[in-house]
Amino acid sequence: MSSNRTAPLVQVPRGLAGVVVTDTEIGDVRGTEGFYHYRQYSAVELARTRGFEDVWHLLVHGDLPDPGRRAAFTAEVAGLRHLPEEVREALPAVAAASRAAGPLAGLRTALSLLGAARGFRPVYDIDADRRRTDTLAACAAVPTLLTALYRLGQGLEPVEPRIDLSYAANYLYMLTGEEPGARQARAVEQYLISTIDHGFNASTFTARVIASTGADVAACLVGALGALSGPLHGGAPSRALDTLDAIGTPDRIDPWVRERVLAGDRIMGFGHAVYRTEDPRSRMLREIALGFGGPRVEFAVEVERQVEAILADLKPGRELHTNVEFYAGVVMELCGLPREMFTPTFAAGRVVGWSANILEQAADPKIIRPVARYVGPRAPVPVPAAPTPVPART
């Protein structure tokens, strides 16, 4: 195929699978090893040993804080949880308009309002400190926005944030109106940490593409949320629980799963696009669930055991294990989260990872501008028109 392009077209796999598009210092996913990390630290170990604010600091500043810096950073972001009055006044209308779609859809509109009310400017026009401040303001406000939209949709008044609670505990408090137990708050915090970032997934890449145009932080995050809303990306912890409900009892596991696998249906909560081993996030969340114990957890473990055996039998040669969605749903249910808030809760953690990627991308002045290979009907090459004669000056 002829082309007038100065650079040759490079054929790449569908979906850019395996294509390296940039360098990053934020983290990586090593799927064949079943390992992923934030900067130089194991993400799972961070979830086991650190608080959410520590990991947020790591992604934004590049290092884990000492106690003094942790206290300063925690106070800084906690002070940004309250919403501007203009945004607060608009939330009932946003919640009403997005009631059918849910809080995640309303969050896109609310974040746009927040960016305008806080005076977010294009990242191209501001320095690194202002970019950082804008990302902190957006991330700190996301739990307030999500919980307010949920409660308004339920006919309840929003709960004002508390600055004396951690990010995760405050999120649960604003959602339920009651201060959560330490075990529940810590379990949700560990889930949020484990899902802050996960390589160049579709929403992260979307955020970086928008950041490369120089747009403001709110625009970048709204774009990422749009990508997350797609059913091929947004995850389905609630659907994994729906699977447990549909199976019902241990004696139904084998026939239920075999029927669906043979019909070509996907078993929600199993398989991952990157991992060829057990998803390390699922392993950690299983441990958390087992710490709670109870019939629901015992049933989930038995479903996992039998489904993996059935998949190995019916799909030999393929490594299909539980992914993060399976036990995430179990853990969030144990912590009292309603199912319609499972994916919004994921977004409440991932917004920090998106923001770290926005900051990294904003430091590069080059816009992301790939090309497409045209495969439609051949277009005739136009004949250059003769130049219009310039009238002689008289």
pLDDT digits (tens, 9 = 90+) for 12-26: 888 888 788 889 999
Q: Is residue 389 part of a domain?
A: no
Rounded-to-integer distance, Cα 118 and Cα 90, Å: 14
- In SS3 terms, the chain reads as CCCCCCCCCCCCCHHHCCCCCCCCCCEEEECCCCEEEECCEEHHHHHHHCCHHHHHHHHHHCCCCCHHHHHHHHHHHHCCCCCCHHHHHHHHHHHHHCCCCCHHHHHHHHHHHHHHHCCCCCHHHCCHHHHHHHHHHHHHHHHHHHHHHHHHHCCCCCCCCCCCCCHHHHHHHHHHCCCCCHHHHHHHHHHHHHCCCCCCCHHHHHHHHHHHCCCCHHHHHHHHHHHHCCCCCCCCHHHHHHHHHHHCCHHHHHHHHHHHHHCCCCCCCECCCCCCCCCHHHHHHHHHHHHHCCHHHHHHHHHHHHHHHHHHHHCCCCCCCECHHHHHHHHHHHCCCCHHHHHHHHHHHHHHHHHHHHHHHHCCCCCCCCCCCCCCCCCCCCCCCCCCCCCCCC
Q: Which of 53, 272, 304, 321 is catalytic?
A: 272
145 closest CA partner among 189, 80, 88, 192 = 88
For residue 387, count CB atoms less than 10 angstroms from its CB and return exposed for 0-12, middle for 13-18, buried for 19 or more.
Answer: exposed
Active site residue 198: no
- Reference 104, options 205, 237, 244; nearest CA is 237
Q: What is the C-alpha to C-alpha distance for residues 274 and 354, in angstroms, rounded to an integer? A: 19
Q: What is the CATH number of the domain that holds 268?
A: 1.10.230.10
- 164 shares its domain with 73: yes
In this prediction, residue 7 has a pLDDT band, given cuts at 50, 70 and 90, of low
Residue that is last in its domain, among 317, 334, 351: 334
Residue 387: predicted pLDDT: 77
In a domain, 212, yes or no: yes
Do 89 and 206 belong together in one domain?
A: yes
* Mean predicted confidence (pLDDT) in 353-378: 94
215 and 286 inside one domain: no
The verdict on 180 and 227 lying in the same domain is yes
The span from the CA of 84 to the CA of 74, in Å, is 20
Token pair for 361? 């991308």
Tens of pLDDT along 198-214? Answer: 999 999 999 999 999 99
The answer to whether residue 378 is domain-embedded is: no
Give the model's confidence band at 216: pLDDT under 50 very low, under 70 low, under 90 confident, else very high: very high
| Whole-angstrom distance, CA of residue 374 vs CA of residue 24 | 31
76 is catalytic: no
Residues 276 and 301 in one domain: yes
What is the structure's pLDDT at 8? 67
List the structure tokens of 92: 């009932």
Q: Is there a single domain that holds both residue 210 and residue 276?
A: no
Domain-located, residue 197: yes
Are 329 and 346 part of one and the same domain? no
Residue 194 has pLDDT above 60, yes or no: yes
Mean pLDDT across the stretch 162-169?
98
Pair 38, 162 in one domain: yes
Each residue of 25-63: pLDDT tens digit?
Answer: 999 999 888 899 999 999 999 999 999 999 999 999 999
Query: Rounded to 10 degrees, what is the CA torsion of 295, 301, 307, 312?
Result: -160
Say if 115 falls within a structural domain. Answer: yes
Q: Which domain holds residue 133?
A: 27-232+341-362
| Domain CATH number, residue 141 | 1.10.580.10
Of 189, 304, 325, 333, the active-site residue reads: 325
Q: Are residues 323 and 181 in the same domain?
A: no
Q: Looking at the domain assignment, is residue 103 inside a domain?
A: yes
Arithmetic mean of pLDDT, 268-285? 82
Asked if 165 and 248 sit in the same domain, the reply is no
Q: What is the pLDDT of residue 272?
A: 74
CA pair distance 219, 203, nearest whole angstrom: 13
User: How many structural domains are present in the chain?
Assistant: 2
pLDDT averaged over every residue in the chain:
92
**Within this chain, do residues 214 and 181 fall inside the same structural domain, yes or no?**
yes
| 151 lies in the same domain as 249 | no
